[in-house]
Amino acid sequence: MKPIMDYYKLVRASNLLECEVDDIIHFWLTGRIKLQVNLNAEPCSLSRYLPDDRLERSFYRMLGDIYGSDNIYTGRRWFLDNGVESEDSFLDEESNVGLFTYTGKAYGLWDIVPTIVTRFIDEGVVLSDMFGVLDMDNKSGVAFVHGFSSYRRNDFLCFEKPVNVEKTNLIIDHDNLQKIVNFFKIGIWDGKDEEENKSDSYSVGIVDIKKRQRTSSSARNAIKIMLQELYPESIGNYKKISELLEATATSQGKSISFDDYTIGRWLKE
């Protein structure tokens, strides 16, 4: 019996999903899921978009800290600032919102996002920011750290120096784990065809994790033969095949998405 957890380290998540840690990271790098990092009194600065009104900002501070209005048990992150507030140059005059920076220490689970040049993760990720990353020679494993979204903009952390985090120590929450579970089952992201699969739910909870359903051997052979017959020139290009399949489905009046990862799994199994 495996209990429901709100979040998991990637090692445990990979065991539950019966896949590799690198597979989960790939889904993160391609924007399919979100990952988090656990910070424990990490020295940094928090940049947050707040009203350009000192009285209103003082109200946030009176609640204990600038995240005091949020429930730390549901948000799972907080920032202990040293009481010094500085205003950056950015100011959205239309909404009267400015970018304000606080120095202090970050705790709890914070979202991480890959940069536009982050394609592969070897040993782990390097936490930096849009300013510090400019001084780094190797940017392949860099990730930015985001907090809450306020005024349709994410708070973000800036670090005194890059912070290294082993990839096995990254965190995935239950909702994003469930996205992967559903993808492994139906081969489609974002809950598409949810109504069709509602009767055959596939959940990670207080259950012995069900084996994800695999296509039968005869069905796999049939898929391979049909794909080789239909798209012989693209058989090694999974992304191209997924695009061709989607185009064919559209021509038949069907709205179906195919993922190149799924196509590759079909052809390799």
HSE value, Cβ hemisphere, 13 Å, CA-based, for 81: 22
- pLDDT higher than threshold 60 for residue 77: yes
Cα separation, 109 vs 165, in Å, equals 13
In DSSP terms, 165 is beta-bridged to 125
State the DSSP string of 173-198.
EHHHHHHHHHHHHHS-STTTTTGGGG
**pTM for this one?**
0.65
Model confidence band, residue 177 (pLDDT cutoffs 50, 70, 90): very high
- Coil vs helix vs strand at 269: coil
pLDDT in tens, 86-113: 766 566 666 677 888 888 899 889 999 9
Query: Are the C-beta atoms of 85 and 101 separated by less than 8 Å?
Result: yes
CB burial of 166-175 (b: ≥16 within 10 Å; e: otherwise) equals ebeebbbbbe
Task: Supply the pLDDT for residue 199.
Answer: 37
pLDDT in tens, 236-261: 777 778 788 877 777 766 767 777 76
Please, what is the average pLDDT of the chain? 75
- pLDDT higher than threshold 70 for residue 223: yes
Task: Supply the pLDDT for residue 118.
Answer: 78
Determine the average pLDDT of the residues in 184-197: 63
